Structure 1
Amino acid sequence: MSHSSPSQTPSPSELRLHPPDLPPGDPGASAAKDPERYWLEHVYQGGVRQLTPRAVISGMLIGAVMCLSNLYVILKTGWSLGVTITACILAFAVFGTLRSLRVLKKDFTDLENNAMGSVASAAGYMTGGGNMAAVPALLMLTGTLPSSGWLMVWFAVISALGVFAAIPIKRQLINIEALPFPTGTATAETIRALHGHGDVARQKSRLLGGAGLIGALLVLVRDARFSWLTNIPEKASLPFTLLGKKASAWSLSFDFSLLLVGAGALVSFKTGWSMLLGAVLTYGFLAPAMVGQGVIPEVTYKAINSWAVWTGSALLVSSGLLSFAFQWRSVARSFKALSGLFGGKSKEQEAQDPLAGIECPPAWFPLGFAVLGPIAIFLMAYLFQIPWWAGVLAMPLAVVMGVIASRVTGETDTTPTKALGPVTQLIFGGLAPGNIPANVMSANATGGVGLHSADLLTDLKSGWLLGANPRQQFVAQLFGVVAGAAVVVPAFNLLVPSADMLGTEEFPAPASMVWAGVSKLLATGVSALHPSARLGALCGASLGIMLVLLEKWAPAKAKAYVPSAAGFGLAIVIPGSSSIAFFIGAAIAEVMRRKKPKLAEAAVLPVASGFIAGESLLGIGIAMAKAFGVMPK
């Protein structure tokens, strides 16, 4: 099918729900009344290479690398960081270099890069959706996990269900309602810039590569144990003492970690200073007071965190649930959309459908769940001893969560996993009281479906703006799911050989601590907590609610001074040194945005991503070398 030249294709900022008005006599006037027909005739690039073998292979490889990086980051910080834009920059740089060396004959097209991004994001986000919150939480609570092979199958099946769950809502959310999906729109803009302006692409790829090299070198001189290498310290204590102990004993120190500084540069400055405030109050005031009263037995991060996690978890859960409740309009629209999921079109309507040969057939949704649903239910029963009736209930609940997560992501660019996970835990805590694996892993199932549904729709938004074939992107996403599942499990087992590694300064695993805390509370009851921990949880829950209400209802000028509930809560459950590093990164990025906005736009993302990738990947490499005896521990 023919398509218009690039100069005629609307930019993402121009393409909205309604195409431009055309005179009544114009041949395109009829198409202008129908956004899907307009897209087909003016945007769709039917003859351009898209899902090629090299796009799939490079996406699986880059996605696997990004998955390793995200695994390291989420165990450190509790957050999965952006994958797609970094992957697109990296792929463009690699294929551009190979083309200049004449190893490749054909250019790497914008739609190939978009398809590669779909593969890479599905693999890279295998750490999200509760996967790397639930599994470490289960390990902490029970001390055991299923074998690596079974866990790979579990992750692949749950993630694939999320991909199928996106099919029936894609056209409504993207084609008709034109929800913004900001990350998808930004990815489309990035791909246009890369493939339209070689200088911009080369600059970003150089910054990404240079920052990655610096991050890797820092890890080498800090963590590698060679007789010829003098290691730098992991951290430097702040210059004061509390109760006769150095500040570093309370985790208040400067981390020699560019990963954390890079992660801070990618969050808002408000989140950064909120984390600093939370760290100062928790480790500088609250923890010393509890040690002085004998509630916290010793001055170590693990001892402090064992008490403070209840305050932080309550703050994160209450703020997440209330923020989610304020998005009730999105939720209501999601439930309205659910009513039409199984209402197929008539044969006459299908015959008139201009995108019938391009969009995924509606029948793929029930077919996917009919095939994968029983497998997921079997895995729940076999691996986690979840009653079969609870597994059956989890399937429609997962669809509901997928629809809600997708719409909320489309409207706000935030997938509400932190809210949906505890909601599912509460539901199954009531249905199967005392069953910890059912409580944790059923939430993993619904969270995984929600994340991968939202992730695919974010990628499909990019494809819609660039004129890509959505059916090919759907297939690309499944390739990524396989790659991510194959990589994340052995890497996790390598980094976390036992539950003792979790909840430490090396791997605080804050998301897992929250999930484990909620599950333990539901299983044992509030009465099992120390009275001070109960008071802390009550204060945390109240503070989370108050911060959300202030953020929503405070005067516009005052909102800038209301701490971020997510940042403040996270600071309570990670080491103070991590929050300090986050703040440094956020502050540097904010100063650049104010003083040198053009430089910030060009440099912050690739440099921060490079720091994160370089340090995390070499960190995993050193961990592998130590585990296999190649390097002394």
Structure 2
Amino acid sequence: MTSPVSPSPQQLRLQPESPPPPERDSTPVDPERYWLENVYKGGVRQLTVRAVIAGMVIGAVMCLSNLYVVLKTGWSLGVTITACILAFATFGALRSVGLLRQDFTTLENNAMGSVASAAGYMTGGGNMAAVPALLMLTGALPPSGWLVAWFAVVSALGVFAAIPIKRQLINIEQLPFPTGTATAETLQALHGHDERSRGKARSLGLAGLVGAVIAFWRDAKASWLVWNLPAKLSLPFTIGGKPAGAWTLSLDFSLLLVGAGALVSFKTGWSMLLGALLTYGVLAPEMVSRGVIPEVTYKAINSWTLWTGASVLVSSGLLSFAFQWRSVAKSFKALAGLFGRKQDTEKDPLADIECPPAWFPLGFLVLGPVVVALMAYLFQIPWWAGVVALPLSVVMGVIASRVTGETDTTPTKALGPVTQLIYGGLLPGNLTANVMSANATGGVGLHSADLLIDLKSGWLLGANPRQQFVAQLFGVVAGAAVLVPAFNLLVPDASVLGTEEFPAPSALVWAGVSKMLMSGVQALPVSARIGALCGLGLGVALVLLERWAPKKAKPFIPSASGLGLSIVIPGASSISFFIGAAIAEVLRRKKAKLADAMVLPVSSGFIAGESLMGIAVAMLKAFGVMPK
């Protein structure tokens, strides 16, 4: 999931991205030459050693935070803006006490953001859907060192896959990439040294501290703590003779979930509340009374509702993706020009700034065989199926990048199942191949799309794109090195997944799709098949209503992604999401300036503070410093 924050027109005070309209009788202005002459800042410090180190450290921290979030919610949150605020505050503090002589420039922060984004988004691209799904399906994972290599190589391949499409999508067509635009606007505001920017940094830090304190007070079992904050508080009513909390309808003492809710739309928030009440307050009790669900526990309920929720998510994702056929068609049209096209360096104004076109095939020639070898060695995927993954990953990268550039939404819910379906046909009955081949193709494609978001902010700010590509590679290494040991710490075995602590909804969906492809729909219980069909119809209906309903009716149509997710995660999580979304919506309507100044930094602080403290407490328990 990319960051949902997009700037309003009045907030944008960036240097002009596009050339002014030419006079009627004048020669058309080349947008790349105009950018080179009017926006590019070649002499300003950008990819410095301190920017790389800061990006790797902050990105690693953001990766830990995102890992915790994705296991809780199934979503990877955009980290670039938060990382830029943290870097600005850190370097500002070091400069104020005399430990730094030179200011941390806007473009240094932008380069740092490229490193941090590549590291922090290591949980995206299907990585933290595929690997937990593989663990649930097989009960085992490859050794940690090999898994680090897998993540690093697949993600690095995504960096190279972005090279041939960057100039077309960003320089020529100038697709909006709203999150990249928001990052550029945030950087200019921060480095304008106004009090509002410093206030955002302070708000993020204080919110992070509050989130960490709440998490420690709730989760730590220190002997000096008189009592712990309860994890949940049941809603004050009963269903079927049992308290609402037994059906997961509780108030969750988690600021992380409230913060995540504040970053989604209010429509998504109330859709999740609606889905939770219907699933755990109506549907699950009815299925328990009929004996379809054997007991009132989250795991038992989820093993049945998973098929309905997964069907909503997959069907709505695929249909929404299909409605973007114009973008897909443009992507395939662009693919025809990726190979064999040579730039005339004598006429190319950006030949010394952009990545050379030769880097794309060289990257695939070097890293491609490594990916194929790892697929064969680690996951027993036939070499020919690994080779097929390479051109397929380029196709996925082009499609995902264009859709992201136009809509700010990377189509994870569509591309993941699509690649699973492809490999389900190529290698029927092979669970490991189905999941990890999809991870390879989807991972390359989705990382490519995410990296182009950073290049959009660089284009707006006048950064050197070649340096940003190098920055992304540093981030890939940092993210992979941190992600695997942290995952092993939080998820020592498959029993942890699919629980109230770590619902891991995206992994459940991937595992469910693979099981279905292997054994067929007929292997499911009749009631689960009916639920899956109902979910499929509901996902399709919601997308069609969102597209064709009268404008006045659209605000009242539930979000398909929000509703589908609420069926898979505990009801308490959906309630917390709704609370966060409602608070943010009230602020936006009643106190717009306050919302602009507070929602993003405070929400990000809650998420970072609680998730990092959660990981720290898990480490203390694992090493025996604190009782479990």
Band the TM-score falls in, shorter-chain normalisation: over 0.9
Distance in 1 separating the partners of 2:126 and 2:309? 18
- Paired residues of 1:110 and 1:195 also in contact (CA < 8 A): yes
Q: 337, 353, 376: which one pairs with 1:358?
A: 353
CA deviations on 1:288-315 (whole Å, 9 max, x unpaired) are 0000000000000000000000000011
Partner of 1:459: 454
2:147 corresponds, among 148, 151, 166, to: 151
State whether residues 17 and 176 of structure 1, in contact with CA within 8 Å, keep that contact through their aligned partners in structure 2.
no
User: Residues 115 and 238 from structure 1, CA distance in 2 versus in 1: closer, same or farther, beyond 3 angstroms?
Assistant: same
SS of the equivalent of 1:488 reads helix
Q: 1:50–1:468: 8 Å Cα contact kept in structure 2?
A: yes
The CA deviation string for residues 461-494 of structure 1, in whole angstroms up to 9 with x for no partner, is 0000000000000000000000000000000000
CA distance in 2, matches of 1:23, 1:520: 62
SS in 1 for 2:320: helix
Shift of 1:284: 0.3
Identity across matched positions, percent: 78
**Paired position in structure 2 for 1:494:** 489
1:473 and 1:12 map into 2 onto residues whose CA distance is: 22
> Which residue is 1:19 aligned to?
20
Question: Which of 446, 455, 470 in structure 1 is aligned with 2:465?
Answer: 470
Distance 1:200 1:51 in 2: 27
Deviation, structure 1 residue 343: 2.5
The counterpart of 1:112, out of the listed 108, 111, 125, is: 108
RMSD: 1.2
Within-5 A mapping of 1:412-561: 412-561=407-556
1:53-68 aligned within 5 A: 53-68=49-64
Structure 1: distance between partners of 2:537 and 2:414 = 16
Instruction: Give, in whole Å, the separation in 2 of the partners of 1:19 and 1:520.
Output: 55
User: Contact 2:136–2:511 (CA<8 Å) still a contact in 1?
Assistant: yes
Comparing 222-231 with 132-141, greater Cα deviation is found at 222-231
Residue number in structure 2 paired with 1:290: 287
**2:260 match:** 263
Instruction: Report the alpha carbon displacement of residue 82 of structure 1 after superposing the two structures with TM.
Output: 1.5
Q: Which residue of 2 aligns with 1:7?
A: none
Q: Which amino acid aligns with 2:265?
A: S
Query: Shift of the alpha carbon at 1:197?
Result: 3.3
1:224 and 2:224 aligned: no
Q: In the alignment, what sits opposite 2:395? A: 400
Q: Find 2:187's aligned residue among 187, 191, 198.
A: 191
Within the candidate set 190, 199, 208, 1:203 is matched to 199
Q: Secondary structure at the match of 2:214?
A: helix
Q: Secondary structure at the match of 1:236?
A: strand
User: Hey, what's the Cα distance between the residues in 2 that align with 1:222 and 1:13?
Assistant: 44
Alignment of 1:371 onto 2:366: yes
One-letter amino acid matched to 1:184: G
Displacement of 1:577 in angstroms is 0.2
1:17 CA displacement:
4.3
Number of matched pairs = 617
In structure 1, distance between residues paired with 2:90 and 2:29: 42
Partner of 1:81: 77
| Bigger mean CA offset, 260-269 vs 190-199 | 190-199
Q: Note the C-alpha offset of 1:576.
A: 0.1
Query: Structure 1 residues 103, 13: closer, same or farther in 2, change over 3 A?
Result: closer
Matched to 1:15, the amino acid is P
Deviates more, 1:241-250 or 1:478-487: 241-250
How far did 1:455 drift?
Answer: 1.5
1:97 maps to which residue?
Answer: 93
Once residues 216 and 77 of structure 1 are traced to their aligned partners in structure 2, the CA distance between those partners, rounded to angstroms, is 19
Match of 1:35 among 31, 37, 53: 31
Tell me, in whole angstroms, the C-alpha distance in 1 between the residues paired with 2:588 and 2:497.
Answer: 36
Give the structure 1 partner of residue 619 of structure 2.
Answer: 624
One-letter amino acid matched to 1:120: A
Inter-CA distance 268–237: structure 2 relative to 1 (3 Å threshold) = same
SS of equivalent to 2:233: strand
TM-superposed CA distance for 1:21, in Å, is 3.3
- Classify the secondary structure of the residue corresponding to 1:311: helix
The residue aligned with 2:67 is 71
Is there any run of 5+ residues in structure 1 with no aligned partner, and where?
1-9
Structure 1 residue 20, shift from structure 2 partner: 4.3
Deviation at 1:452, TM superposition (A): 1.3
8 Å contact from structure 2 (residues 215, 614) kept in 1: yes
Matched, 1:389 2:384: yes
- Equivalence for 1:587: 582
**Partners of 2:335 and 2:13 in 1: CA distance:** 28
Q: What residue number does 2:118 align with?
A: 122
1:315 maps onto 2:315 in alignment: no
| Counterpart Cα distance in 2 of 1:257 and 1:336 | 47
Question: Residue type of the partner of 1:371?
Answer: V
Paired residue secondary structure (1:254): strand
Task: Determine helix, strand or coil for the equivalent of 1:66.
Answer: helix
Structure 2: where are the runs of 5+ without partners? 1-10
Partner SS, residue 251 of structure 2: strand
Cα deviation, 1:434-465, whole Å, max 9, x if unaligned, reads: 00011000111111111211111110100000
Residue 196 of structure 1, CA deviation: 1.1
